[in-house]
Structure 1
Amino acid sequence: MLLKDKVAIVTGGSRGIGRAIALRLGQEGAKVAINYSRSDHDAEETKEKLSQFGINYLVFKGSVADQGFAKEMISEVKRKWKRIDTLVNNAGIIRDRPLLLMPEKDWDDVLNTNLKSMYYTSKAVLSTMIAQRWGRIINISSLTAIAGRETQTNYGAAKAGVIGFTKSLAREIGQYSILVNAIVAGLIDTQMTKKLPREIMAQLKPLIPLGRLGRPEEVADVVLFLSSDLCSYITGAVLNVSGGEYM
């Protein structure tokens, strides 16, 4: 097993890409902690799947955009499992509108959840990872960050910030054998992409050379690699998982 006895935290881990990541890391031996902030139904489904695979897990309800919650969650994981090896900053929301019509709250909510939360969670795990002289921080960005998408100025700004955060933190903490990388996800078949209007999807799908949407599991496999000892000399990288939509 690639992650035997490791401890991983996956934010936004109750559905979609986050759920797939939690399951994949757990299947490779990691103890997995996830958080969610909305759907109890999704969280229960994820618990069932984690249990089916015999994965040791913790589930927390709350938003990582809340600094107090984020710190408390990470403290509890450390208290229970004595270490933290991998942090996957996956939590994200969308509030799509043309900028001219976008309320400030929609801007703030997206920036706080998709970007500022990473400040809270990453800062909270650093002392543990530095003491261990080993750690992996993996940040989920989006194709919108580098290619742009109309009605997503808030989302694009946040996800571009994820890339800048990743590169700067990688330079800061590489001396402690902590690797920090980002994944740029393209169109992945999740509940979030299912909310896209049909006409928008019809325009976007032909842009993908592989001719299909990605599966959450395909992102999870990349996270697994970045979390493991197979990845030992990659940091500050931005890996494109988009089926070739962006090259």
Structure 2
Amino acid sequence: MSNLLVEKSDGVATITLNRPDAMNALSRALRAELAEAVKAINADSEVRVVILTGAGARAFTAGLDLKELGSDASALGAANATTADMNPVKAIESCVKPVIGAINGVAITGGFELALACDVLIASENARFADTHARVGIMPGWGLSQKLSRLIGLYRAKELSLSGNFLDAQTAERWGLVNRVVAADELLPAARRLASDMAQIEPGMMGRMKKLIDEGFALSFSDAMALEAEVSTKNNRAVKPEDVEARRGAVLARGRTQ
């Protein structure tokens, strides 16, 4: 059985972490396959949006494969890996196309970090999040300690990371960690509808917008505003009025049908 499944349809690639019997744990082999899949998707002009999910109802992913860590002294280095083939967060962050995380079950520790690498999160009512780094005795190395507090606030992030407690889907939505919560059988349909909306955007524009948001988020507010001004000026000088007019008509037509 393949550790990873990739399906493509109507401009959307769905990547499924496929180790349900092991709670989709991020083994060395799975991490390497994920990096290769993202590399292929980046080069595929037919793919405009990506959905990332897990097989089965139990887990999105439980993080690094603890059995592998327990039997291989070198495996622990994956927690600080900087290459996409060993660090799945780097693999997802290297995707130039939007990645929608369809969180079908638990996202634990490294799995939580992988969820945070996505651009948008839609959670099943069965989804739960937990940071057990401190309980296991391993410091996070894929970004969780810094990303989480910026997303949900310092006190809430400390509550999760210093307790190892689970956060249910409804609370995750209330805290702003996920965009929305849907019934389990509606998770992939909801993700596909959003992906279809995103796929209508011109790919070059999509990539530039995603890059601007991500790079600005990592800066102070004043530096981010300066970045936006710089990028906006360069981009908008190349825009032709007739192109704007043509797209304006499509935007107005879409607004009348929603």
Greater C-alpha Rg: 2
- Shared fold (TM-score, shorter chain, > 0.5): no
Tell me which of the two structures has the higher relative contact order, counting C-alpha pairs closer than 8 angstroms and 6 or more residues apart.
1
Q: Which TM-score tier does this pair reach, normalised by the shorter chain?
A: 0.3 to 0.5
TM-score, normalised relative to structure 1 = 0.34
